Structure 1
Amino acid sequence: MTDFVLIPGMCHGGWCFQELTGELRAQGHAVHPLTLTGLGERGHLLHGGVNLDTHIQDVTGVLAAENIQDAVLVGHSYGGMVITGAADRAPERVAALVYLDAMVLGPGDSCWTLVSDQERRWYTDVVETGYAVRPLPFFDPRATPHPLASLLQPLRLTGDLGHIRRREYVYAAGWDGPSPFTPVYRRLRADPSWRTHALDSGHNLMRDAPQDLVRILLGDQAGADRVTG
């Protein structure tokens, strides 16, 4: 049995992993789909101080409370920042990192510093309080505003992630237009310490390619570096 901890991207909650969660649990694994502070059913906790550190603590708190020792942390999009920070803060509890069309940041990076001007314009479309970014119109109706401070705060790391035995990147090759994650995928594909996968899917891999994700998460390496789906 493997413990999977699933971290959604901006404006989403644990609900976005529903099909993936069901598939993994049906095969006997423990799955923890998280909704981060200030989002979804935890939206009432939103305030100006909810930042990246808060979301990292959401993950490390679950690892400690559930006494998880060898977690596979899975982060979609913005969730890549969160799993990187959680692996740094609780290295003894994390065995693997899987990034789903996600940000892979280094020390001092933030979402704001790495994204394009187009995405920065989105980030500045905040709700009336100024605390959160509005969901984009095409998002799932369940999407909620995302804490702005989490996008502005630089990632603080105490060391590198060389202790993580397994690091994988799943690239969505089916974007309608250029993908902002293409440079990340190309960089990691050339790095022998990473294993990369490309799926013929849009950015919402959990909705569009759940069966492919199950195979990747359970260690099927046949599709690595090949567009499938």
Structure 2
Amino acid sequence: MTAFVLVSGPFTGGWIWAEVVVRLRAAGAQAYAVTPAAMGGEGDRTRAADVDLETHIDDVLRVVDRVPTGADVVLVGHDYGIHPVLGAADRRPERIARVVYLDAGMPGDGDTALAALPDGPGLLARAGATGLVPPPRGERWRDWGSTAGLSEAHLDRLDRLAAPQPVRTLTQPLRLTGSPFDRPTTGVLCTANGSGIGMVEAMVANGPARLRVLTGPHVRFFELGTGHWPMLSEPGPLAGILLRAAAGEGRRLDLPEAGPGAPHGAGAYDPAHPVDFPVDAPECPHERQGRLDLHLPRAEGPRPAVLFVHGGPVSPDQRPRPGRTPVLLGYGRYAASLGLVGASVDHRLYDLTDYPRAARDVAEAVDALRADPRVDGDRIALWFFSGGGLLAADWLSAEPRPWLRCVALTYPVLAPPPSWRAVDARFRPVAAVTAAGAAAPPVVLTRVGREHAVFAATVEEFVTAAATARAEVEPVDVPGARHGFETLDPERADEAREAITRAAGAVVRRLTA
């Protein structure tokens, strides 16, 4: 017998699981939907000041302890619900057969739920003296995840039954004595919310080292083609996936082959299996200055410069650093062969919360580059890759920068997917180009035909916004290529070479006009 214990995300209680519970029980399983303290709506008189994360962990434990001995307990945590789920699993390890992360993050010991939210100070301010964060209403539910698949009736139900969230459930650190991945684990990714198995594979290959636990032998994944509340939008398919997860089914991660060398999420670089950049460029003088790598042309006088900005998040312990991987070395040398100073910056985008810090690193690199006597500080281009595309928002504004001749974007992310809630609201290139309109710097945009669907949607949104705002965008389309095409597809080297030379040519024209 399998017993599912279901714990929902913020502002919701056990009511949200009603249709899933019916289907699980019809399939012969036990199912218990937890309503944590203070989350029961108007009839719940629990004092918010008395409720914290430990309170909610105790709520889950009381349900677990009611499950008959011998049943395989599967804990399911949605969004914030993964915090009390992991706390309960840590305290009753002998009872828990599996933990399911339903469109949830990966908190560890010492982490707070607030840390994964973009406007933590704002949430605390809204809680005020009451100690309660008011629930969203109407369109504001989108701030907490994609509402794809939800009907008006679903949204009305959320509005009607949502409860304020006790602020201490978000601010109290989760305390664990062991690794959450020491037991069988399943991740259920809601693709309309910006997650997918392919994206997770890319993040594991190049992201923070803590993600490598996702390659463990007891970790499995499923995808659901819906938004952030599948228990409302797809209760039948979700129940089916939970039953399959309990049976140990699901996909293990299939990591890219070693050797792509792309510091922007395409795959891990393995020095034992080097790969060639598609465009041949001769060796040139190469200097390292702080976070900057400089590739210098064999030419006299101050030269125009292009600063390459890698994507991410990348692991802080990645070696070699992004600027020394084949992709950025290749772009830097190629820029130098065209008579430019080709520079790259090793910024510190190690997590989704690091965009402000990475933006400071990029701004400092721009200042250092413009101050170099070998650089013509009035002729600068910035070239962003993948997740680094969000950093372009600062440079797409209408602020007068006559020295910024163009912004180049290659397979970029141009709006945070819904699941990237931790990204600061400042980093919205779509919003930036909409506001700047024709005053935005010219954009050279390289689009790949085999892009991750969630990333491709942000690119199309950007193109549409730029056209409406009359901003200048020159597209470079690579129909058969995928994210990280420079080194991922050696069999398509000719197509990659043509795309790189076309994009570089467009940048050079604007730098030398």
Number of corresponding residues? 220
Residue 109 of structure 1 corresponds to 111
Distance 2:65 2:105 in 1: 25
Q: 1:191 to 1:162 in 2, by over 3 A?
A: closer
Aligned twin of 2:430: none
Write out per-residue CA displacement over residues 10-35 of structure 1, whole angstroms, 9 at most, x where no aligned residue. 01010100110000011111110010
**Larger CA deviation: 46-55 vs 11-20:** 46-55
Q: What's the CA shift for 1:189?
A: 8.5
Structure 2 CA distance for partners of 1:184 and 1:116, relative to 1, 3 Å: farther
Distance 1:92 1:153, change over 3 A: same
> Which residue of the partner structure matches residue 20 of structure 2?
20
1:64 match: 65
**CA apart distance, 1:88:** 0.3
Q: Does the residue aligned with 2:49 lie in a helix, a strand or coil?
A: coil
Could you list the runs of 5+ residues in structure 2 that have no partner in the other structure?
142-157, 205-210, 254-451, 453-513
1:92 pairs with 70, 91, 94, which one? 94
Task: Determine if contact 1:46/1:147 at 8 Å carries over to the other structure.
Answer: no
In 1, the alpha carbon distance for the partners of 2:200 and 2:122 equals: 21
Deviations 1:61-120 (A, max 9, x none): 222233455310001110011111110011111110001111221111101223223x55
Counterparts of 1:1-229 in structure 2, within 5 Å, are 1-41=1-41, 43-69=44-70, 70-117=72-119, 120-126=121-127, 129-138=129-138, 140=158, 141-164=160-183, 166-175=184-193, 186-187=203-204, 191-193=214-216, 194-219=219-244, 221=249
> What CA deviation, in whole Å up to 9, does each residue of 1:169-190 have, x standing for no partner?
1111113xx67xx779944588
* Closer/same/farther in 2, CA of residues 58 and 190 from structure 1, 3 Å limit: closer
Percent of residue pairs bearing the same amino acid type: 35
> How many Å separate the matches in 2 of 1:37 and 1:214?
25
Conserved? CA contact 2:7–2:33, under 8 Å:
yes
Distance 1:213 1:183, change over 3 A: same
- The amino acid across from 2:234 in the alignment is A
1:124-182, CA deviations, whole angstroms, 9 ceiling, x for partnerless residues? 322x6421111011351100101100100011111223542x2011111113xx67xx7
Counterpart of 1:195, as a letter, is: R
- Runs of 4+ aligned residues of structure 1 deviating over 6 Å after TM superposition are 182-185, 222-225
Worse-matched range after superposition: 91-100 or 136-145: 136-145
Q: RMSD across aligned C-alpha pairs, in angstroms?
A: 2.8
More helix by share: 2
Alignment-derived partner of residue 490 in structure 2:
none
Structure index of larger Rg: 2
- Aligned residue identity for 1:8: S
* Preserved contact between residue 221 and residue 250 of structure 2 (Cα < 8 Å): no
8 Å Cα contact 2:14/2:34 also seen in 1: yes
Instruction: State the one-letter code of the partner of 2:56.
Output: H
Q: 1:214 deviation in Å?
A: 1.7
- Unaligned ranges ≥5, structure 1: none
Distance 1:162 1:122, change over 3 A: closer
Instruction: Note the C-alpha offset of 1:44.
Output: 0.8
Contact 1:97 1:167 in 2 (8 A): yes
The residue identity in structure 2 corresponding to 1:21 is: V
Amino acid at match of 1:214: A
1: CA distance, partners of 2:180 / 2:238: 23
2:66 partner letter = A
TM-score of the pair, normalised by structure 2: 0.40
